[in-house]
Amino acid sequence: MDKLEKPLEVWREELSETQFNVCRLGATERAFTGEYHDSKVPGIYHCVCCGVELFDSAAKFDSGCGWPSYFQPVSREAIRSLDDFSHGMHRIEVKCAQCDAHLGHVFPDGPAPTGLRYCINSVSLKLVPREA
């Protein structure tokens, strides 16, 4: 079965309640509570739902926003962006291109070289540390 075709009931069984609410229902974890918001461990952040590589710790920076922030994904093909008009504002939602998991949002206030800030929920990620 294609990952995009999994019924919500299957996702609910495979993920924790918080992961399900964020990744499958588009919720947001509270700021400064996520496992990776201040992590400095070098490695690759994968999608918690399907395992695809999303972000490299080399692109991670401390934005002070309370969520892990990156200036770029590992590749353009890893994510997809959509207009999000929820909560009375316009934002750009970021989803995993492989399984459609909600990851967070991207904002145009990041550092060089991209000027972007991918603000990502920790629960949507699984860090695979680099070997020393």
23 is catalytic: no
What are the sequence ranges of the domains in the chain?
3-129
Residue 6 CA neighbour count, 13 Å, CB half = 18
Strand order in the sheet with 43-47: 53-56, 43-47, 125-129
Element (H, E) at 103: strand 102-107
Task: Out of 3.30.450.40, 3.40.50.720, 2.170.150.20, 1.10.357.10, select the CATH number for domain 3-129.
Answer: 2.170.150.20
Query: Which pLDDT does position 132 carry in this prediction?
Result: 64
Query: Which pLDDT does position 4 carry in this prediction?
Result: 58
| CB-CB contact of 18 with 29 (8 Å) | yes
Cα separations in angstroms, 18 against 61, 92, 121: 24, 22, 10
Query: Which pLDDT does position 1 carry in this prediction?
Result: 39
Query: Which pLDDT does position 66 carry in this prediction?
Result: 94
Beta bridge partners of 120: 104
Local mean pLDDT, 10-residue blocks, the chain (132 residues): 72 96 95 95 97 97 95 97 89 96 96 97 97 72
Q: Please enumerate, by residue number, every residue annotated as part of a binding site for Zn(2+).
A: 47, 50, 96, 99
Query: Which pLDDT does position 92 carry in this prediction?
Result: 95
Phi-psi region of 115 (alpha: psi -120 to 50; beta: other; left: phi over 0): left
